[in-house]
Structure 1
Amino acid sequence: MTTPEWLKPGIYGTLLGAAFVGIVGFSWGGWMTGGGAEEMANKMAQEEVIAALVPVCLEMYRTDNERIAKLATIREASSFKRRDAVMEAGWATMPGSNGPNRDLAKACIEGLDLDES
């Protein structure tokens, strides 16, 4: 099929315009693929679940009979080892789970007042 000469600039303009709109939309327009949206939604859901579980972790701390010794161990640990110390204390293990949650342990550290004497 032959395309009339007067139609070629319109076809080229349409193709370039579509490419430009796609590039601008995905770069600056906030568009995203379904996979990117799902990844963002999963991350947000994980963060919200952890935030909702922090009070449970703090309650486990408050009701632990050995909390003074465990808290001393956590305070003595270097800042990057505190998460592991909270996990070992058992405060980041939710009832019904197989093991401690690293993200919950990190969030729980922020809820514990480690600076008090």
Structure 2
Amino acid sequence: MTFPEWTKPGIYGALGGAIAISILGFTWGGWTTGSSAQTMAEDMAKDEVTLAMVPVCLGMSAADPERTEKLASLRELSSFGRRNAMMDTGWATHPGSDKPDRDLAAACLAGLELDGS
């Protein structure tokens, strides 16, 4: 069986085109693998849960009888140490959890607007 003369260059061209399209798709086209899509989805879900918990954190801070003292101590700290101090207040702890969440502490600090008041 003989193949036409254009078969070999046609196969090479198709293979080269497939490789080029794959490279362009993954670098500029926005294509992702399943594992990176899963990672992005988990990160987005964690961010949304944190945003949903900010009102709970602000409510816990409003109901705390020692609110004024804790806010005064937070204002005295630099922005670097505020997140750890916020975690120590207990306001950045998810209901049902034993330990505070760093991301929630940062979001709650932004909600308290310590620098603006």
Band of TM-score, shorter chain: over 0.9
Kindly indicate whether residue 102 of structure 2 is the aligned counterpart of residue 69 of structure 1: no
Query: Which structure: greater helix fraction?
Result: 2
Match of 1:31 in 2: 31
Q: Tell me the distance in 1 between the aligned counterparts of 2:105 and 2:2.
A: 68
Which residue of 2 is the match for residue 112 of structure 1? Answer: 112
CA displacement at 1:2 relative to structure 2: 7.9
**How far did residue 98 of structure 1 move?**
1.7
Specify every segment of 5 or more residues in structure 1 that has no aligned partner in the other structure, as ranges. none
Q: Structure 1 residues 16, 46: CA separation in 2 closer, same or farther (over 3 Å shift)?
A: same
What does residue range 35-54 of structure 1 map to in structure 2 within 5 Å? 35-54=35-54
Question: For residues 44 and 98 of structure 1, what CA distance do their matches in structure 2 show?
Answer: 23
Could you say what the CA RMSD is over the residues aligned between the two structures, in angstroms?
Answer: 1.5
Q: 1:59 to 1:27 in 2, by over 3 A?
A: same
Q: Deviations over 1:67-115 (max 9, x none)?
A: 1010011111111110001100110012210200000000000000313
**How far apart, in 1, do the equivalents of 2:94 and 2:39 lie?**
24
Residue of structure 1 in register with 2:99 after alignment: 99
Amino acid of the structure 1 residue aligned with 2:38: E
TM-score (norm 1): 0.94
Partner residue, 2:7? 7
Report the TM-score when normalising by structure 2.
0.94
- Quick check: 1:58 aligned with 2:69? no
Specify the code of the residue in structure 1 equivalent to 2:111: G
Structure 2 CA distance for partners of 1:58 and 1:2, relative to 1, 3 Å: farther
Calculate percent identity across the aligned residue pairs: 60
Letter in 2 for 1:17: G
Runs of 4+ with >4 A deviation? 1-4
How many pairs align? 116
**1:40-90: CA deviations, max 9, x gaps?**
101100110000000000000000000101001111111111000110011
